[in-house]
Chains A and B, each alone.
Chain A
């Protein structure tokens, strides 16, 4: 019998019961909750007179709607404010292990605070009404986004009705080039397999280049798994994972720690495990990436030119390219390095951790924002990230360059708060989605790594950061 994949081990250790058609009740260890996708679930619980099955599984905080400046003025938009206050009331009524209300010192993006406080652990199941829950797979946790009906189901039963996914191994071997980051790896993978390439799969990332990534880099990679269509991404825990978790607030302590570390060591795919699909990439060939279209799969190395639809034989694809170029206001064959930006956004659950801010600051130090760039927002992922960055003086580097240093939150990744693009504005963004209107109606998004975004802010257009600029 073939060995087991990491995904299968995680799955099988959480099956409560299984129906004849393979539908399972899967036990959920951690339930992350934010304000946008939970109100209707709590309302459903109330109407049915139900209590939370295990409130101590809940880690919650508002992040999508919260402003990133003038916190002393509160949340000005009354609809946003009501949604955040509704979360306050729901957590008060139903309970939680961790709750950071708006303006709490540790508040942040839910996918940043879970790992930061040690509630995300290897071997656990983690769900959240948010597709970027895949982030937590970086720890060897089975983590994925769910809908609001499922949020209610998990609140009421601590389980999810689910069927096992197929398993895909994405193997990246070799050494990543200078200035090539986890974000570039993620975009290169999506460029290769497409935004639907991972539909129906859970992806395990393996290979020497993945093992070489830091835990924060692995979070960036797993975060973007959903943009490849796979709900869950996984990296097997190793000594870096253990090192990262040690001493965190909710990480196991004492004898529990030793037991946990021993258990986590078993969480790898067996050498003879079978995957339903295997995709291989050569790390050395991955270059800094820039998306040019309105889907994350519309991505190219920074040295390339925007595609020409006339060269696409497939009618569906040609129409797709034409539509994307029109929306993006780009002419076919334009060198990517000639695309000028109006705004720059450094933040989001993809790239708002301390290493991301450091990478951006190295590029920015001693330089100024290009005159043509209207706004550069730097939005740390959490209060803890913000304080760490300030302790290192990164905030000064950004402010001296003419960037804005903001309070933590989701901000211009999805523009539910006041941070947004105006119609026609073009943005270099470290976020995860370049969909039409994602960062504001009519806004044009180019996804890049933090260093690439910072360089675009300094020069005013995209540049290959591997060369002097």
Chain B
């Protein structure tokens, strides 16, 4: 996995609550058996005026001019500012794959859906939860100031505004460690293979039927 340490990035505001993973990447793109190439189809139905299909060259597709990702001032944004319950619905990891492939490295919202939140960390994306009042302020500042940027530092768990004001944010230490170092979680877990085997032996003794012949 790609590591994430810090970023000073342009902010793109997506001002709606309950953005679901069907909206982030519609179902037809889930037919791919690859992990890459989803960025051009991120928010496909909101972003383009035509119907998208996998493999389409998006460079000539008609855009919905009013969708925030299509506004010139947000081109190249690396931080997505969002509302409550971002990433709800389907567990599809294609959603963070599309977000990462598009170029976002940080998502800031008052709350995230659980599965999406966890999927972000597996893909080098830092999801940051901030209080709703703070989110309101960021939306207002972002709207009022073209070129609005934020600086995010994972090591110190600090978000810095253009004014120089800094705010802390929470990250679970295990997740922080993996993200900072771009660690392969499977490799880490397999360092404990003996413990997994020992657990399995105990588990077999108490719930033998789960390991019975043919089951």
Contact = CB atoms under 8 A, between A and B. Distances in A.
Interface stretch (B6-14, B31-39, B60-68): B31-39
A147 B33 contact: no
A159 B189 contact: yes
Contacts of A436: 22-23, 45
Interface string B110-132: 01111100110011000000000
A146 B210 contact: no
Interface centre among A29, A147, A256 (most CB of B within 10 A): A147
Given A131-B90, A159-B189, A80 B26 contact: no
A378 to B, nearest CB: 21
B215 interface: yes
B163 interface: no
A290 B83 CA distance: 26
A21 B212 CA distance: 35
Contacts of A124: 207, 210
Contacts of A158: 196, 200
Nearest to B31: A79
B92 A97 contact: no
A223 interface: no
Contact of A416 (B27, B193, B199, B209): B27
A408 B114 CA distance: 30
Contacts of B114: 165, 199-200, 229-231
B22 A252 contact: no
A52 B152 CA distance: 38
B190 A256 contact: no
B207 A196 contact: no
Given A147-B91, A252-B212, A39 B33 contact: yes
Interface string B178-191: 00000001100110
Contact of B54 (A53, A79, A414): A79
A121 B210 contact: yes
B22 A438 contact: yes
B47 to A, nearest CB: 12
Contacts of A40: 33-35, 93
B18 interface: yes
Interface string B76-87: 000000011100
B20 A435 contact: yes
B27 A415 contact: yes
Interface stretch (A148-156, A210-218, A460-468): A148-156
B174 interface: yes
Interface string A29-73: 100000011011001000010100110100000001100000000
B137 interface: no
Contacts, number: 200
B138 interface: no
Interface residues of A, number: 85
B131 to A, nearest CB: 15
A25 B189 CA distance: 8
A121 B214 CA distance: 15
Contacts of B45: 436-437, 441
Given A21-B173, A97-B215, A149-B119, A83 B113 contact: no
Contacts of B147: none
A347 interface: no
Interface string A202-231: 000000000000000000000000110111
Contacts of A438: 22, 27
A156 B190 contact: yes
A37 B55 CA distance: 19
A255 to B, nearest CB: 9
Contacts of A156: 186, 189-190
Contact of A195 (B18, B31, B199, B214): B18
A330 interface: no
A320 interface: yes
Contacts of B189: 25, 153, 156-157, 159, 161
Given A25-B192, A40-B33, A79-B31, A196 B23 contact: no
B53 to A, nearest CB: 9
Contacts of A36: 30-31, 92
Given A161-B189, A196-B18, A252-B215, A437 B23 contact: yes
Interface string A408-449: 000000111000000000000000010111100100000000
B16 A323 contact: yes
B17 A320 contact: yes
Nearest to B28: A416
A20 B114 CA distance: 21
B28 A153 contact: no
B88 interface: yes
A327 to B, nearest CB: 11
A356 to B, nearest CB: 22
Interface of B: 16-18, 20, 22-23, 26-28, 30-35, 45, 51, 54-55, 83-85, 88-93, 96, 111-115, 118-119, 122-123, 172-175, 185-186, 189-190, 192-193, 195-196, 199-200, 203, 206-212, 214-215
11 contacts: A16-B195, A21-B173, A25-B196, A27-B203, A39-B33, A40-B35, A97-B215, A146-B91, A148-B35, A148-B93, A149-B122
Given A27-B200, A196-B113, A416-B31, 19 more contacts: A16-B196, A25-B196, A36-B31, A37-B91, A77-B31, A79-B31, A86-B33, A129-B93, A131-B90, A144-B115, A146-B118, A161-B174, A161-B189, A199-B112, A229-B114, A263-B207, A414-B90, A433-B89, A436-B45
